[in-house]
Amino acid sequence: MGGIILALALGVSLASHGATPDAEVSELKVTIREWDVPTKGAHPHDPAVGPDGALWFTEQMANKLGRLDPATGTFKEYSLIEGKNSGPHGLVADKDGNIWYTANFGGYIGKLDPHTGKVTEYKMPDESVDDPHTAVFDARGILWFTAQGGNAVGRLDPRTGKIELKKVQTESALPYGIQINSKGVPFFCELGTNKMGKIDPATMGITEYKLPEGARPRRLAIAADDKIYFTDFKGGNVGRLDPLTGAVKMWPSPGGHNSGPYGIAITPDGMVWYSESGVKPNTIIQFDPKTDKFARAAIPSGGGVVRNMAATADGRVYIACSGVDKVGVVERVR
């Protein structure tokens, strides 16, 4: 499939009120390449970086996982268990090259061996936790995940297949994005309330951090100093939590109160990247925490809601454009 390559971005339409004045937002000098996913109507949800640098993604409405080699534009799709749509949502690669995914509709964690196509399913031990959402590995090889509707955080030991679950004490917290800090501690967003959560790997005890009233954190990324950057989907902000002090700082997103900040990632240089899903076209925002400056680029296809993104070791950003059935690569113009 052909890629679209464009340098961005001028004249972004701000479809929401309370936007940051254009004078404070510079042009983000990047190329954005997009490719059509082979299966129409797949609605790619999350991207991930494979061990070889490939762009992996979930096809939530097609019951598939996909792989793109950005260097050649070559796709390969892997069908999951036939006869049902497991609703693959989040995904992450392990050190051996297996791709683990959350089956949001199927109520299980799955593992794909790309070499053989074999799929292994790990069912939830509690029927009330039937919608695993986002997954991440810690340094010990334990897979941590959120379950949004099940209001829980879980972990899976790939060596034994054992799954342990812990309910969040705040009702209807809607655990969403999850990441691991440098000390091996998982932090997660509580989209249903104005809180961030932390789960102790030793005890499975959960600590919650209060965010400003009205905030609804959706995704998070953790910087090298272990400060947590998150998208405030409802309030139209990007925020930062210092877990050591509990201090929170919020910055209005350039697209305004209804800009719907969603996917977020941090590149090795410390720049924070995130998407605005509530403006048309969707935008890619780069935020510099050292200067509090924003830069903005429009997604050529419109984006169709970028629900998550992943940063590569060389500073590129992988995106999945759900509503337009595309995946893409964002790269700075050098």
Tokens 């919608």 locate to 131
- For residue 214, give both structure tokens: 């009205």
Q: Look up residue 165 and give its amino acid.
A: L
Question: In 3-state terms, what secondary structure has residue 112?
Answer: strand
Q: What angle do CA 231, 155, 202 make, to 5 degrees?
A: 100
pLDDT tens figures, 234-265: 999 999 999 999 999 999 999 999 999 999 99
Q: Taking a C-beta distance cutoff of 8 angstroms, is the pair 55, 31 a contact? A: no
Buried b (16+ CB within 10 A) or exposed e, 284-303: bbbbebeeeebbbbbbbbeb
Residue 133 tokens read as 């959402």
Tokens of 28: 């983000």
Is 108 in contact with 123 (CB distance < 8 Å)? Answer: yes
Contact 273/264 with Cβ under 8 angstroms? yes
Q: If you search the block for the tokens 């899976």, which residue do you land on?
A: 156
Q: d(Cα 158, Cα 178) in Å, to the nearest integer?
A: 18
For 197, residues 6+ apart whose C-beta sits below 8 A from its C-beta are: 153, 168, 173, 175, 187, 188, 189, 190, 206, 207, 208, 209
Q: Is 102 exposed, middle or buried (0-12, 13-18, 19+ CB in 10 A)?
A: buried
Q: What's the rounded Cα separation, in Å, for the pair 300 and 283?
A: 9
Domains of the chain: 26-332 (2.130.10.10)
pLDDT digit string (tens) for 149-170?
899 999 999 999 999 999 999 9
Half-sphere exposure of 183 (CA within 13 A, CB side): 12
pLDDT tens, residue order, the chain (334 aa)? 445 444 343 333 333 445 555 548 999 999 999 999 999 999 999 999 999 999 999 999 999 999 999 999 999 999 998 767 899 999 999 999 999 999 999 999 999 999 999 999 999 999 999 999 999 999 999 999 999 989 999 999 999 999 999 999 999 999 999 999 999 999 999 999 999 999 999 999 999 999 999 999 999 999 999 999 999 999 999 999 999 999 999 999 999 999 999 999 999 999 999 999 999 999 999 999 999 999 999 999 999 999 999 999 999 999 999 999 999 999 999 8
